[in-house]
Amino acid sequence: MKQLLIVLSILFFISCSPKVEVPEDILRQEEMKAVMWDVMRAQYLANQVARTDSLTNVSAETKVLTGKVFEIHKISAKDFEKSYSWYLKNPQLMSVIFDSLLVQKQREAYGENERPDANERKLDRKLLLDE
């Protein structure tokens, strides 16, 4: 019952919030989600490379791989940073992006039709940020 009240309160709050329009010079939510997903994967890969090669600088490797992500998505680092900053100032939209990323991570980790149990769900946010 308590969970139902919390969910209803959140839905009420969201429905009463004014509709925020994404400016033309900001990446759309779906594009931002795709870029963020690839950036996180690039960061993970850079950490993995650094673990196996002691001569690899994690920061430099991350910068190179992130640059490749931006090339693939045909955006600049400045475009990404500007969009990321804008979404941080609009948490209701950023929350949707993070929730989508979390679901995407769950599907990757648990499979399309499997659902994690309660103990696994507690780790999901940590998995999303750590990998």
What is the domain partition of the chain in residue ranges?
29-130
Give tens-digit pLDDT for 55-93: 888 899 999 999 999 999 999 999 999 999 999 999 999
Annotate 6-22 with b (16+ C-beta within 10 A) or e (fewer): eeeeeeeeeeeeeeeee
Tokens 């149990």 found at? 117
Question: From its phi and psi, is residue 3 left (phi > 0), alpha (psi between -120 and 50) or beta?
Answer: alpha
Give tens-digit pLDDT for 14-53: 555 567 789 999 999 999 999 999 999 999 999 998 888 8
pTM of the model: 0.68
Residue 36 amino acid letter: M
